Structure 1
Amino acid sequence: METVLQDHPILNHASQLGKRLLETEEIQRFRLAEKQVQNSHRVNSLIEEIKRKQKELVHAKHYQKPEYIRQLERELDRLHEELDNLPIVREYQQSQVEVNDILQILTDVLAQAVSEKLDVDVSGDVGGGCGSGGPCGCR
């Protein structure tokens, strides 16, 4: 069956759609922001410092050192806030939200188009669709 799916014409359309998505302004902005974040010395040093502090926190919790735990948690909060307030990180996060929104809308549009033609519930309710013994009564 997998061989049949590999040659299915709809996969060609999906591939073309994927290529067109890569050309959108939102995806281009995301890729640029991602590259800037990856190449930022400040971002990378903050991430490394956060990782070190997280490891220290694990050890402090293991050895039950409450005062040191509180100190590390405060330092981690400060580091996360500093990282989150960097303009390139904010731009990256915003562009990520925009890309996720586009992909979610695309998924919803496809699901709705299929649902309307096949009379299938796409509401996302667990246990409520065909074959589940849900509201339609089928099993």
Structure 2
Amino acid sequence: MKESIQEHPILAHAARLGHRLLETEEIRRFRLAEEQIQNSSRVNGLIEEIKRKQKELVHAKHYQKSEYIRQLEDELERLREEMDNLPIVREYQQSQVEVNDLLQTLTRIVAQTVSEQLDLDTSGDVGGGGCGSGGPCGCR
């Protein structure tokens, strides 16, 4: 009987890799920055104020109040800049970039390794322009 995908051994390896990733410095920094953001009354206050202004902006646009729309857009820009300039927000954003880079690199390495191995095992036929399944497209 064919093994189900949930029981596939490679998934156990992937789970272990995922747990190992959680132990990396990049993930630790991200979690710490995330915790600081969540516990910051200043950040949370700015987020609430931004949400309030966005709702007001939706209503102003609905009623076509052009002067009020410009005022709200200016206020939103100021609030976003203020939040983006907070050191803990910059740290959080930087840690997001680092975690994303790590995950992208990991993905690229896995894909490249598998792709190179398939290319060797199929005598270079991978990517020859067809699916190779002999299905409805008729390629083989």
- TM (norm. structure 1) is 0.86
Q: Which residue of structure 2 lines up, in the alignment, with residue 131 of structure 1? A: 131
Residue 41 to residue 130, structure 1, CA distance change in 2 (3 Å): farther
Cα separation, 2, equivalents of 1:104 and 1:96 = 12
After superposition, the CA RMSD in angstroms is 2.3
Matched residues, percent identical?
Answer: 77
Aligned to 1:28: 28
For these two proteins, the number of residue pairs brought into alignment is 129
Q: Which residue of 2 aligns with 1:9?
A: 9
Mapped partners of 1:76, 1:49: distance in 2: 9
Question: Following the alignment from structure 1 to structure 2, what is the Cα–Cα distance between the partners of residues 39 and 130?
Answer: 53
Q: Secondary structure at 1:131's aligned position in 2?
A: coil
Paired residues for 1:88-107 under 5 Å: 88-107=88-107
* CA distance 1:16–1:74, change in 2 (3 Å): same
Counterpart AA for 2:37: V
Verify: 1:64 aligned to 2:64, yes or no. yes
**Aligned-pair CA distance for 1:60:** 0.4
1:103 CA drift (Å): 0.2
**CA separation of 1:87 and 1:131: change in aligned 2, threshold 3 A:** same
Q: Aligned residue for 2:123?
A: none
Q: CA deviation at 1:130?
A: 4.3
Q: Structure 1's 131 and 46: CA in aligned 2 closer, same or farther, altered over 3 A?
A: same
- Relative contact order higher in (CA < 8 Å, ≥ 6 apart): 2
Structure 1 letter corresponding to 2:88:
I
C-alpha separation in 2, matches of 1:69 and 1:129: 53
Q: What SS does structure 2 have at the residue aligned with 1:64?
A: coil
Give the letter for the 2:47 counterpart.
Answer: I
Name the residue aligned to 2:43: 43
The offset of 1:138, in angstroms, is 4.0
Structure 2 residues not aligned, in runs of 5+: 120-125, 133-137
- What do the CA deviations read for 1:53-107 (whole angstroms, capped 9, x no partner)? 0000000000000000000000000000000000000000000000000000000
Structure 1 stretches of 4+ moved >6 Å: none
1:118 aligns with 2:118: yes
Mapped to 2, the partners of 1:49 and 1:58 lie a distance apart of 14
